[in-house]
Amino acid sequence: MKRITVLGSSGSIGKQTLNIISKMKENVCIEGLAVGSNIKILKSQIKKFKPAAVSVNSLAAAQNLKKWCISNNIKTDVYKGNTGLEKLTTMPKADMILAAIVGAVGLKSIIAAIKAKKDIAIANKEAIVMAGSYIMKLAAENGVSVLPVDSEHSAIFQCCADEKKSQVKRIILTASGGPFHKYDKDFSKITVEQALDHPTWKMGRKITVDSATLMNKGLEAIEASVLFGVSIDKVEIIIHPQSIVHSMVEYVDGSVIAQLSNPDMKLPIQYALTYPERLPSNIKPLNLIEINKLEFYNPDFNKFPCLKLAYYAAKKGYTAPAVMNAANEAAVASFLNKEIKFTDIAKIVGITVKTHKVSKSTSLDTFIEADYWARHYAEKLINEI
């Protein structure tokens, strides 16, 4: 029995993870759950999974939850805030932490979990982009596995688990292209509602906007480079609107290995939970006759400047990806609040990344400081718009 703690259990990945776990009761169970503020969802999850402990952000939420547990005769421990999150990640009985908190805020809990020698199923790409070199080094030192949950990275992992990295010639990361792949109108007039209407994947709001700007693919290119230890020059992006081929790995002999399935996050989540085993799942079987054709296109770096910025930051390295990620988080939040235009996202990220002076220190504090600086700088730019 594998015992899992889910950080971010009220989000899209968190909820799908619990749904999968509820169908694999003989193999996997829940040890702990953490949410930000969505107590309503957490209460229903506590009832269903009876975790040993949970964590929420605020004192008020924790007090509410504690009372509720007592009155319902539930013996779940309730923690709060950052210290609560840390406590949850280091619970002795947990075998694996599924890190599904969106954004750089999830970084500290991932580090605490690695130090406590918990394997990590990583859905938080922002943390990898922000401090990937630090996380991977720490994981190696602690003998911890970092298993990808992102569908593309799960695909790459499945295509190269047994091969030697030095034999990888190229990683080909597929992208659906998002809702604006064929859009030929004025990008500055794109509304929040249009950006949130993704053609193939149903996801949380932040990642859906990132998919519309293609920043998501930029973050994923950096994530792939970090997780698989290949230089960013070897990571290529191609648009594949059907989202059937989830990514490919090309080897030095010219052989290309791809992983295919209907687009369904249940598969990569389940694989991360059960690796190295595969268990039956209820995802829709792949019918290539029905799908009929698979298309591939080059991405348009001019139409989607965020993609260009991600490669720029990745090549600069050190603190540049952390800065890009933080500026993007600030800009996307502001776009979702309808304060700035769709095209302002890339502008804000671009100015912030280009203003930043890269620090070559690889300490954790350096990445945290870079994130902090970029967030404030981006917010200053947002206020000037």
CB of 130 to Mg ion, least distance (A): 17
Cα separations (Å) of 159 from 19, 89, 162, 235, 269? 26, 30, 8, 14, 16
Contact between 150 and 125 under an 8 Å Cβ cutoff? The reply is yes
Q: Which is nearer to Mg ion, 152 or 264 (CB)?
A: 152
Window 212-251: contact mask with Mg ion (x via CB under 5 A): ----------------------------------------
Say whether residue 126 binds Mg ion (CB under 5 A): no
CB of 267 to Mg ion, least distance (A): 12
Window 308-327: contact mask with Mg ion (x via CB under 5 A): --------------------
CB of 225 to Mg ion, least distance (A): 15
The three-state DSSP-derived secondary structure of 106-132 is: HHHHHHHHHHCCCEEEECCHHHHHHHH
CB of 217 to Mg ion, least distance (A): 8
CB of 84 to Mg ion, least distance (A): 29
Tell me how far apart the alpha carbons of residues 208 and 265 are, in angstroms, rounded to a whole number.
14
The number of CA neighbours under 13 Å toward the Cβ of 361 is 8
Tell me how far apart the alpha carbons of residues 80 and 93 are, in angstroms, rounded to a whole number.
20
Q: Which is nearer to Mg ion, 31 or 150 (CB)?
A: 150
Q: Which is nearer to Mg ion, 68 or 201 (CB)?
A: 201
CB of 260 to Mg ion, least distance (A): 15
The DSSP letter of residue 26 is T
**Nearest residue to Mg ion, by Cβ distance, number only:** 150
CB of 147 to Mg ion, least distance (A): 15
Going through 194-347 in order, the beta strands assigned E by DSSP cover 235-239, 245-251, 256-260
Reported residue count of the chain is: 385
Size of the site for Mg ion (CB under 5 A): 3
Contact between 129 and 222 under an 8 Å Cβ cutoff? The reply is yes
Q: Which is nearer to Mg ion, 12 or 151 (CB)?
A: 151
Kindly identify the residues of this chain, within the stretch 137-196, that bind Mg ion according to CB under 5 A: 150-152
Q: What is the phi/psi pair of residue 298, to 5°?
A: -75, 140
Q: Which is nearer to Mg ion, 94 or 224 (CB)?
A: 224
Tell me how far apart the alpha carbons of residues 247 and 61 are, in angstroms, rounded to a whole number.
41
Q: Which is nearer to Mg ion, 76 or 261 (CB)?
A: 261
Q: Which is nearer to Mg ion, 51 or 132 (CB)?
A: 132
Chain residues binding Mg ion by CB under 5 A are 150-152
